[in-house]
Structure 1
């Protein structure tokens, strides 16, 4: 297997948005944490703009392409924060994008913040992905985090047109909640828990063609999943996808080890996350992946062979995408991620964006390709949980072409940071590149992660004692 590091970038980047706010509580000229979704020729990405140290950004920004990634239009969500068009919240965080084909609307789910405290889960709606309405409140319990949204877009599904929002409550030990809309996001049903009252962070609900909703989520020490087979009327107990041994990143980078998930055209679920199980002494994080066809039984996690096992590269914050017009052994997968060339880099870390793809359902992958970097960590937006590019990423396929939107930082200018959203000017394709397999690789027995799992509440973050981690490997 080749031991080479990331191949040099083959794509030109284009900036798709820029922080133009001037509010006093933000670190300006910063944009972080994008999620991207595509339907047909339209691609919508949403992200935090003007990061506030205590949580969220001055507003949620969007960048939309209606021509399959050739050109982009950007703007901000109206009526969400005090910083743009008469909103009432001080900041907003955790954007996630969905499209509802039955009702013909785009949705951006977000987490409004008031005085550094998450106060609600909201949904903004648009007919074209460019002109957005004022937010509709999904939940206003006052202690919410890490929301996500998805819609059932299969006409033959018994729940076609249902949309589902997931979040957790830090004030209740990260208890998981789900809510369902049947009218294009205008109204949302009562929040419901899983059958086992599970806790978790960073869930990403996905819908299979038969209408089953599967929600992979970080269970603190393991990736777990739960599902609904009745259109969100009830939610199952959690199933274990795979344990997570997470090293975490040097340099004070914010990198919580959350999963990235996608579904192919036949309903197969793919879940990727950072893990050090294949490295002696947990020396560096790889990206591993597990799959399921039913959301309850999962394959053993395998390492995505971005590079060889003898390299020092550290891989984290994956953004996985699957072409919905492909499936099974010929499914097309693409993944962006951040990486350090050397995991043990202390305070001298150099940050890059990488990319890899598979055209055989994840059996083989291209060698990692550099898209952006190097970035000095001092160029990144500061946050209460570390220097920030994102907690999550995604790749979206538009008419068979994969595009990712990601934060790239450059040297500060005129006393301000210079971190913004970028994409590639051409699709993330790697025709002709060698395909690499990790077949035969096994996790190293006894490897344990270094990351300290944390409990989040409105007052900050606190380590979770190992005995209190519900899914931790003994």
Structure 2
């Protein structure tokens, strides 16, 4: 299959050799298989203050560095670009945020769930889940800040938003959002799983049935100088949880938090997974939140190797959200994995939109183009003209006759709010998913990165090509013309047809 046409350009390796070196850097031996020099689960943001730079805008990308099969990584890597993504500089260990022992934090053996957001003043914020895997189950949500003048090269000592030393409590899947409307406000959100103490017996609570998983929140109102005490903003109830919490700020100042809500009982007929949002209307800026507003049932069936049936770990339970950040706008868009479009046989990319700030949502449609293969791990952003861009992976180029599981990254864009789409290939050649680290399946990340500034999109993806590395791309005008109009009836399924998806405590 030919490479991408026109719009996709400037393919760059954004990660390099491990900054931690080949030798051990933890205080004690670690369990699980170490995938040395693997970089996965990337996220990226673009500095809005650098839009007019002659060499192109500044980007900061983050990722798991040296993944373990049993959860987390030796640390979180950071790569910076000051030329619009033409080149990236991976930071050495002594310049990384101190999220783990290998990066200089003596308290935590591992780090996971990297995320970065850059504010309207150019200050960047990284957030991490830091935890111990062998010594105890201490875990914490940490934030580090980089001043605009350093272009992502200097990071503060981490501030702890929430730390738990009780092995019956675990924080998970945190994200961070700098409010583009006001540089003083930055928001952090995550789920916090709480298990009965008597059920854990000092060991991992992964298999414990009784638990709670509310959404927790913290914010700074003074540009990172201090952070408010973390607090729960939504509790789905006993044996239920949220995951994939992510906040966007709208052009009118409202906040919207997307999440998957798992109900393990059948109250209100909602057993299983639901994609939902919480709203914080302006001028609250997170001080108060609405109740749950449903977008759709979650109909993922997961992803497997089409030849062997081996699991492929993807973003199957992690929704993604993007807002139109232009002043006065309140459009919001969501994507996630869903198999409703083919009788729950294969995951595709579902898309839904809201034109009233997340209060109501359109019926989901399929925006992945090949319904006969599995599509997964979408990312979504809106550019400076209100155009919607989505990246995702699929297996359409897989050849059963080869030893590889050929996988590709695709970019699709809509200029009309999701009614029509035009798609291009991001990967110049397929990568082999079977060479990815194994962590409950072949794994390049529960999510991938996508930035946007002006009319340029910046895909930031992890791919396995012998080693697992992060690659950056630019997608810019002239974009391909719309070639695909999603069906508005293809996904119609009765509620009884949806798979009953249960919560997954501590996926790490």
TM-score tier after normalising by the smaller chain length = 0.7 to 0.9
Aligned to 2:38: 30
CA distance in 2 between counterparts of 1:166 and 1:19 reads 31
Structure 1 residue 267: deviation in Å? Answer: 2.9
Structure 1 residue 23: deviation in Å? Answer: 4.4
Q: What does 1:55-454 correspond to in 2, within 5 Å?
A: 55-75=71-91, 76=93, 77-102=96-121, 104-115=122-133, 117=137, 119-127=139-147, 128-142=151-165, 143-155=170-182, 161-171=184-194, 172-194=211-233, 197=236, 199-220=241-262, 221-229=273-281, 230-251=284-305, 252-257=311-316, 258-264=318-324, 265=326, 266-279=329-342, 281-292=343-354, 293-304=356-367, 306-307=368-369, 311-323=371-383, 325-326=384-385, 331-341=386-396, 349-371=405-427, 373-383=429-439, 385-411=440-466, 418-424=467-473, 426-427=474-475, 431-446=479-494, 448=497, 452-454=501-503
Change (3 A) 1:450 1:67: same
Q: Which moved more, 1:347-356 or 1:161-170?
A: 347-356
Change (3 A) 1:369 1:236: same
Structure 1 residue 241: deviation in Å? Answer: 0.9
Change (3 A) 1:238 1:342: farther
Asked whether the 8 Å contact 2:213–2:235 carries over to 1, the reply is no
Asked whether the 8 Å contact 2:118–2:125 carries over to 1, the reply is yes
Structure 1 residue 341: deviation in Å? Answer: 2.2
Structure 1 residue 361: deviation in Å? Answer: 2.2
Change (3 A) 1:380 1:449: farther
Asked whether the 8 Å contact 1:27–1:50 carries over to 2, the reply is yes
Change (3 A) 1:203 1:372: farther
CA distance in 2 between counterparts of 1:107 and 1:137 reads 13
Change (3 A) 1:196 1:55: closer
> Tell me, what secondary structure is at the counterpart of 2:434?
helix
Change (3 A) 1:267 1:87: farther
CA distance in 1 between counterparts of 2:398 and 2:339 reads 11
For structure 1, the 5+ residue unaligned runs are 1-5, 412-417, 462-474
CA distance in 2 between counterparts of 1:83 and 1:196 reads 35
CA distance in 2 between counterparts of 1:206 and 1:344 reads 39
CA distance in 1 between counterparts of 2:442 and 2:17 reads 17
Correspondence for 2:3 among 1, 8, 14: 8
Structure 1 residue 428: deviation in Å? Answer: 5.0
Change (3 A) 1:136 1:315: same
Q: Deviations over 1:188-246 (max 9, x none)?
A: 21222235556310111011233221101111311010022312222221110111111
Asked whether the 8 Å contact 1:31–1:50 carries over to 2, the reply is yes
Structure 1 residue 56: deviation in Å? Answer: 1.4
> Tell me, what secondary structure is at the counterpart of 1:27?
strand
- CA-atom RMSD, angstroms? 2.7
> Tell me, what secondary structure is at the counterpart of 2:107?
coil
Q: Which moved more, 1:224-233 or 1:114-123?
A: 114-123
Correspondence for 2:505 among 422, 441, 456: 456
TM-score norm. by structure 1 comes to 0.84
Q: Deviations over 1:13-54 (max 9, x none)?
A: 321112423244531121110111112222211110100222
Point out which structure has higher relative CO (alpha carbons under 8 A, 6+ apart). 1
Asked whether the 8 Å contact 1:357–1:429 carries over to 2, the reply is no
Q: Deviations over 1:441-461 (max 9, x none)?
A: 33143484558534314xx79
CA distance in 2 between counterparts of 1:287 and 1:81 reads 34
